[in-house]
Amino acid sequence: MASEHLLLIAAPPESATLQNRLSLETIGCRLTICPNRTEAEEIIANDPPKLILLSDQIGEPDVFQTIRDLSRSYPLIPIVFVPARQPPELAAAIDAGISGYIPPSARSSEIQARLRAALERRRQLTAHASEEVRSLQQRITDLETIGRFGRKIVASLDLEGVLTAVVDAAVELSEAEEGNLLLPDETTGELLIFASRNFEEDFVRTFRLPIQDSLAGTVFQTGKPILLDEKSPRKIKTDYLVHTLIYMPITVKGRVIGVLGVDNRQSDKPFGETQVRFLAALANYAAIALENAQLFAHTEAERSKLETILTKSENGVVVVDFDGRLILVNHKAREAFGIHETHLTGKRASDLIQNQDLLEVLRDEDLVSATRIELTLNDGCVMNTQITPIPNLGLVVIMQDITHLKELDRIKTEFVNTVSHDLRSPLTAILGYTELIERVGSLTEQQQEFIRRVQQSVHTITSLINDLLDLGRIESGFDARKEILPFNSILEYAVDNLKTKAAEKSQNLIVDVTSDLPHVLGNPIRLRQLVANLLVNAIKYTQKNGEIYVQASAEAGQIILRIADNGPGIPAADQPHIFDKFYRASNVPEDLAGIGLGLAIAKSIVENHQGRTWVESTPGEGTVFTVVLPSTDLRL
């Protein structure tokens, strides 16, 4: 026996007695002696002994506690108990963890035999433990390898590379001769080799495996792995013979999408449980890679579709986040704002877009619903612009070039103005002559009635022409002359003029106006026209005995005018259009005169005075028109 190191824990004089009794030199062991656990631990740390011999005569009060502590700290070092006297509690020592016992009466030959046996047991234990450690080590290495592949797969979107890596790993981990990954051909349904290791290129190219009557096909159909471990080679496809093989299904959400296989053609080395486990783990990775690739391809296709739509769109598109940083600017929007920089993402919109009207809307933190503005660009182009807030994204700006429509509108207005103007003189002549007819001779009652109708029609046409000319004038800004006006008098004038009309329909006209309304800077004729148009409508559309309510008040530098009625109301679908020229709501009775210009004129007048107007209406209940005009502190 080589000089094995043994440690004896015993306090003097027992230690000397024991040293003599043990006479270890004869079995080729060297002995270190120490009196207590603390010193023993130091020795073990520096020179681990093969065996601990522990006396009951030690520098510790509880020898069993010492046994327990040592056997817990050093489970691989056997402890042989060598008490000075027959111990009353041998069972307690065994419970505490001793692995051998030398009775006080033992002779030296017996002692040596017991020590040899203890050392032998220890050798076996160590050998077994190192085998366990080796296999654990191997499993850790295998797990690390699998983990490495996992990381590679998660990080990579190169499907071919990943699947080839999976096959390589399968071959290496299972120590197989070759491996392949089979996926079905979408048209024929046959299994083809998508990735392989140690197969010839020609073989891979021409390999076709029918789903029916093939091992891989069975795995593909049943979703169950096959472990082929026969002594005689088996034909799994003409001219393709294997001794041992594993086919593992690749499954995504319960659906088999492919098969991972390894095999041995030369050797008949069998595959075992471990290899099956490896292949199962790798097949999972292959499944993740295939699913990732599919999802990525799908997302990529959708993204590029969307990108093409956005970039090729003839509408300008700008997307900014809620901090005003650009997320997307398509080519049309770049053109519109003269942006030449290429990398825009993350830059501030205000650094690159000069249009103040747009920036103002983008800065508006209260913007909760889509809003529309007309943007005039530096080159004169006019953009119909919709700004839509999208939760968790930001603001989407879509701009449509309406320059040509604006130009058409201008030409049309000009034409209407010219024609209207030219029509006025002949109409005045017609009216004049109809009045003269009565003077040149007597007329029958019927002739008088006809002339009355002609005059009425001429009046209607004249008022239409006047409206058109008014609108043209207001829109073109010819009414620029403005005065400081007490708003009370504007209201009084309009209300007084229309009182009789309301009375004719027995309507209750309630005027609720503060007597000290502020002044406005405006055109008196137009402002009276504005109030009159709204009041005329209220009277015209509200039934007999209905109620009309005129209310005006001042608030934070503004005058707020409300003209409400309890008439028929305006259908919701018509409300967005009623300020358009020539638009009449769908519920207007056919015989009720009107051409749909009154509100267009009213809106133009309000805008010309830097105000706002809108309608709120519930069909069957009534309508409220609100006008907000800026007031002035200036006095006449």
In the complex, the residues that contact ligand ADP under the rule CB under 6 A are 537-538, 541, 565, 567-568, 570, 578, 583-585, 588, 594-600, 623
Residue ranges of E strands in 59-170: 79-81, 100-101
Interatomic CA distance for residues 228 and 247, integer angstroms: 8
State the DSSP string of 12-70: TTHHHHHHHHH-GGGGTEEEEEESSHHHHHHHHHHS--SEEEE-S-SSSS-HHHHHHHH
* Token pair recorded at residue 323: 């901090």
Q: Which of 619/630 has CB closer to ligand ADP?
A: 619
Question: What Cα–Cα distance (Å) separates residue 406 from each residue in 385, 409, 589?
Answer: 14, 5, 32
Closest approach, Cβ 534 to ligand ADP, in A, equals 7
3-state SS, residue 595 = coil
Q: Which of 223/594 has CB closer to ligand ADP?
A: 594
Q: Which of 353/552 has CB closer to ligand ADP?
A: 552
Output the 3-class SS for 489-514.
HHHHHHHHHHHHHHHHCCCEEEEEEC
Residue type, 397: V
Closest approach, Cβ 292 to ligand ADP, in A, equals 59
Interatomic CA distance for residues 310 and 303, integer angstroms: 10
Residues 6+ apart with CB under 8 A from 630: 520, 521, 557, 558, 559, 609, 610, 611
Q: Which of 335/512 has CB closer to ligand ADP?
A: 512
Nearest to 418 by CA among 351, 461, 472: 472
Output the 3-class SS for 414-477.
HHHHHHHHHHHHHHHHHHHHHHHHHHHCCCCHHHHHHHHHHHHHHHHHHHHHHHHHHHHHHHHC
Closest approach, Cβ 578 to ligand ADP, in A, equals 4
Q: Which of 178/574 has CB closer to ligand ADP?
A: 574
Q: Which of 281/627 has CB closer to ligand ADP?
A: 627
Q: Which of 523/623 has CB closer to ligand ADP?
A: 623
Closest approach, Cβ 586 to ligand ADP, in A, equals 8
Q: Which of 454/588 has CB closer to ligand ADP?
A: 588
How does 204-227 read in b/e, with b if 16+ C-beta sit within 10 Å?
eeebebeeeebbbbbbbeeeebbb
Closest approach, Cβ 600 to ligand ADP, in A, equals 6
Closest approach, Cβ 523 to ligand ADP, in A, equals 20
Interatomic CA distance for residues 82 and 20, integer angstroms: 13
Closest approach, Cβ 594 to ligand ADP, in A, equals 3
Closest approach, Cβ 621 to ligand ADP, in A, equals 11
Q: Which of 279/597 has CB closer to ligand ADP?
A: 597
Closest approach, Cβ 587 to ligand ADP, in A, equals 7
